[in-house]
Amino acid sequence: MLTLSIIHSTCLKNKLTGMATTPQLRTGEDYKTIFDGKIYADTLFNQIEVEGFTFTEFRLKTLHKIFSKGTIKGKCLLDIGSGPCIHTVIPAAKWFDEIIMTDYAPSNRDMQEKWLKKESGAHNWDMYFKYYSKLDGNENNWQQLEAALRPKIKRVFACDVFLPNPLDPIQLDQVDVICTSACLESASSDKEKYDIAMKNVVSLLKPGGKLILIGILNCTHYSVGSERFQCVSLTKDDVVNTVKKNDLKIIEIFDDDSSFDGDAAPFNGSVIILAEKKQT
């Protein structure tokens, strides 16, 4: 869920305030009490095209490519760890009867609800609808994309990827597609926890169902406002191996080599994996 705008914003803030101390590294329960979904959305998702930095466009173009073929479809798409965001599911709207958004942080779920209900304080996602519409070849069609998505998102659930049933107490039938973007590495303190989270998430996917995993590589932390949140640092091989050992067959792997070595959100590369859960 990281983009270059958080890097620009945090570095500027540090210069203006003269902040020299290292913030406490936030984890786990801090997402319930400290994480600010509005600051996160306003900071990370206020631009798409950045010269010399392809990460955001890579994600959008790849998701568009995956969904535009019309082969990834079904009754229900479950988005795990959505954050306050809706941009990952925009190109999926016409292929599913229902889209379910989830997140651990209450402020993120609140931002989801604000957008769905068109309430004050909701994040403006217009540029993302316009970008996808441009990829469709009709930039003027963006409002129709927005109108198509909103009624498809019927539910917003709390989610904890470390529970055997991440949606507990909700009992959901296994779904056709799961999409998750930079969630598992943000939630996990180490590779063992990452493996556990992956196993729990995949349990919600029906045999033959598809997983779309967006992963940030070699990232140890990221900043939201003045707060710093922990990530587990993963290589591409770490991600691929964890996918493979959870009854998933990899269909396609997409890579991007964007990186940043500043303190606000250091990372090196990202990967998107399309995989299918093996039939039992």
DSSP string, 249-273: EEEEEEEEEEEE-SSSS-EEEEEEE
Distance CA 123, CA 125 (A): 6
- The SS3 assignment for 148 reads helix
Is the pTM value of this prediction over 0.95?
Answer: no
Q: What is the pLDDT of residue 52?
A: 65
pLDDT over 60 (residue 13): no
What average pLDDT score do residues 78-97 get? 97
pLDDT over 70 (residue 2): no
Higher pLDDT, 22 or 81: 81
**What pLDDT digit, counting tens, does each position of 224-271 carry?**
888 999 999 999 999 999 999 999 999 999 999 888 777 767 888 999
